[in-house]
Structure 1
């Protein structure tokens, strides 16, 4: 679960609802971890679901970043001071992140999928690394175009 991407989704949740969409998040964690995450970083105006065995992630083609690549990325970011603050300053949040690094699959990359009510895939983005998330603007365009198309059709 990328807390920064989820914060963006929370901030821009209205672009989904204004376009008739329902936003749901599937995290590669158990329900208890999701509850703890929600207590530390929430609340969120959308549902968070767990996929502790990562079945949906792998079925959708998500990848695990190799450990050496992640370590190199973190080391390079730290050396050039371009790495965003990894640990939150708030105590409860910092404890959650520290624990998650030991107990969760931090190498599994996320993504974003937009599927319409008929099950048609409208958009997909699979993260290549921890900094590569679906641009909110792209998702907004897809949702708006889909809504406008259906308005013209009716």
Structure 2
């Protein structure tokens, strides 16, 4: 379920009521893309953020328990190649789970800039079914949403 109200999204797009299901799906995708870009989750209000953060310790413990179980299964495997592959899967699953925990720990309450970026992304998804425009030449469409999201991004790496 999206943080941004569907009615705001519909008004932003000047969309018709019959487009509501498509707009909702694309709004969910735009918000998820923004959260992935930011490496953090955003929430409607302080209560939602607090509730999400309250579950962080449990999620870490669940991830560690799942990892320990996966390692135990992997170590029981006789074939060295399969055992290495299973251990790699266990490590990757733990890393993914901890990344998701970190995204919640770095959570932020949605603000006008994030909302605008998501609506820009939504508008792009709604209006353009392709990543490029081909009118004799090929041109990639610029995405202003990244510029709006950049100040809120964490853990960018190299």
TM, length-normalised to structure 1:
0.23
Higher strand fraction (1 or 2): 1
**Greater radius of gyration (CA):** 2
